[in-house]
């Protein structure tokens, strides 16, 4: 697929499923656009902005429903999304997507006040994802090549929950995404 066709496919999924509730008084698409907008406004690199836009893509491609966490199910959306995106993007975009849930677990271990600042929905998913890391898990996480980028994506993930926030639309991010599509895609 050429870069335009890849982005067309991604945007098709957002059009079809982005209206789903994110559980934070915003839709999946609003959340993605907010995260990417915050990253862009803070001067982040294109790969971080792309990872922010795509970090919850797994929620859009699984068919388990919007309220699975309420039923005690972890869809492992970070893996589902990263696996799908790896056909089109390199590790610099994909790995922060894959690691953004682990980043939440890490930050709960690393920063004393982080857990208490999480929204109710994030605390519920944290429990399903294994709770805060322990010291051994955190050391292994910190040793990973993409851990810092994953933590940065997580920080924007935490911010992107603002009802009625005005953001650029998906098409505003098309050139950025197209520029990051792997040539072999």
pLDDT single digits (tens) 11-65: 999 999 998 886 778 899 999 999 999 999 999 999 999 999 999 898 888 665 5
pLDDT attached to residue 72:
46
pLDDT single digits (tens) 62-110: 665 555 444 444 456 778 888 899 999 999 999 999 998 889 989 999 9
pTM of the model: 0.90
pLDDT attached to residue 109:
96
> What values do phi and psi take at 100, rounded to 5?
-70, -30
pLDDT attached to residue 145:
93
pLDDT attached to residue 71:
41
Which ranges of the chain would DSSP assign to H, the alpha helix? 3-17, 28-41, 46-54, 57-61, 77-85, 91-110, 114-117, 120-128, 135-142, 147-159, 174-180
Q: Which domains can be identified in the chain, with CATH numbers?
A: 3-64+76-179 (1.10.3210.10)
């Amino acid at each position: 697929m050429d870069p335009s066709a890849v982005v067309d496919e991604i945007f098709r999924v957002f059009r079809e499923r982005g209206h789903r509730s994110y559980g934070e008084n915003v839709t999946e698409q609003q959340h993605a656009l907010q995260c990417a907008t915050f990253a862009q406004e803070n001067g982040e690199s294109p790969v971080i902005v792309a990872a922010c836009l795509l970090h919850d893509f797994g929620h859009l491609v699984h068919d388990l429903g919007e309220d699975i966490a309420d039923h005690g199910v972890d869809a492992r959306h970070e893996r589902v999304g990263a696996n799908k995106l790896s056909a089109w993007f390199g590790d610099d975009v994909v790995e922060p997507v894959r690691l953004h849930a682990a980043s939440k677990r890490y930050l709960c271990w690393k920063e004393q006040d982080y857990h208490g600042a999480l929204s109710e929905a994030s605390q519920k998913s944290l429990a399903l994802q294994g709770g805060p890391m322990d010291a051994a898990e955190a050391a292994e996480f910190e040793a990973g090549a993409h851990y810092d980028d994953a933590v940065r994506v997580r920080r924007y993930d935490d911010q992107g929950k603002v009802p009625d926030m005005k953001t650029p639309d998906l098409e505003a991010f098309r050139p950025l995404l197209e520029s990051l599509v792997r040539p072999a895609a």
